[in-house]
Structure 1
């Protein structure tokens, strides 16, 4: 009578151990899956970090090729004239020849011209006016209705550029936008900066911090 009872209890113990083992494995697997889902959810909620200031350049509008300038040297009409910045970024003026204009503000250019004229004139007063802005342009490529080059006349944000490009197509990945910007570092080398943006961030209540003001030559990519 004891053997059957003993045998029965032993089998029950073995079966219980197996069940407990399966339960532990299931709990471990479920915990791993739950942790993975939590990480995925959190990563999906993290907003792309904006790595550049969203506003216009602090130094002001920088001149570029094809901009039309009005150079006035006070009391020297023979030295005053309208000029177009050449593709090499320079302008030509009487007496002083070529002067670098691209990459400078109008005030900076006026100071440089005045400094060069000092060897010919006493205390020259120079002003530079911008008659036409032709150097401010960006590109919008990918899933927009009118991709291509946008010629701009005033500071333009990402949202404004997307609107000018006709908005998204039905296939656009609106939350995978990138702005590609080429910048010159302290060593004079050009580096490519890629700025990730999401449309839902751009139109959110705090969208101003993501809605970048575009710079000359920026490319908006909508995959």
Structure 2
């Protein structure tokens, strides 16, 4: 290979890395305003408490989610319906409730309180049977960086696959997730994701998460 060819290849590699870094910087800038630790400190996913790594358990109800309200031994009051565009649902004999922005457990307690005027000891459970998709961004050393729609609680491996996989220049042990509610980046190894490591695969993505591959 001639020196000129080597020089051209070096320029192409530099441009590829620079372009990927611009995408990373743009995403980190958005998250930085929310107080998320974008650079420096990190926590390995295996060291996270379970409550922080399961993205699909404490999510908030959103418009178009299908909500299942079960009132114990009261089929006539129980209901299954989609959250309206105004964020509300209607429960028979209890009236309207704002579901948007609440955890299922919070909504269940509100419905129970309202039904105490109708039933002696109402027991209510609320679950989301069908949830609207979330948007997750994947940036850095991947083949097709961008924002992708996926189900709540999807894995980091799913997000990487959506972005076409790692690029030839990716560091396989430097995969991070940035989340507004966490003070530090969460770090992953690609080998752990590929081999089905429980803590790595069990980490559920949430709306607004950014996956960064260095």
User: What TM bracket, shorter-length normalisation?
Assistant: 0.5 to 0.7
- In the other structure, the counterpart of 1:52 is 48
- Residue 157 (structure 1) aligns with: 155
Question: Structure 1 residues 76 and 202 mapped into 2: Cα distance closer, same or farther (>3 Å)?
Answer: closer
Deviations 1:97-135 (A, max 9, x none): 333453423x55334312222234444454535331115
TM-score (ref. length: structure 2): 0.56
Higher relative contact order by CA 8 Å / sep ≥ 6: 1 or 2? 2
Per-residue displacement from partner, 1:158-210 (whole Å, max 9, x unpaired)?
22321233211223333322110121xxxxxxx543113333454569x4444
- Is the contact made by 1:158 and 1:212 (CA closer than 8 Å) also made in structure 2? no
Q: Aligned residues, how many?
A: 164
Structure 1 residue 96: Cα displacement: 4.3
Aligned partners of 2:56, 2:147: CA distance in 1, in Å?
Answer: 28
Q: Which position in structure 2 is the counterpart of 1:84?
A: 83
| Alignment TM-score, normalising by the size of structure 1 | 0.54
Deviates more, 1:95-104 or 1:171-180: 95-104
- Report if aligned partners of 2:140, 2:212 keep a CA contact under 8 Å in 1: yes
CA distance in 1, matches of 2:55, 2:191: 27
Aligned CA distance change for structure 1 residues 81 and 133 (closer, same or farther; 3 Å): closer
Is 1:97 aligned to residue 96 of structure 2? Answer: yes
CA contact (8 A) 1:143 1:171 kept: yes
Mapped contact 2:67–2:127 kept (Cα < 8 A): yes
- The alpha-carbon distance between structure 1 residues 59 and 180, as it changes in their structure 2 partners (threshold 3 A), is closer
SS at match of 2:81: strand
Q: Distance in 1 between matches of 2:176 and 2:83?
A: 33
Contact 1:64 1:135 in 2 (8 A): no
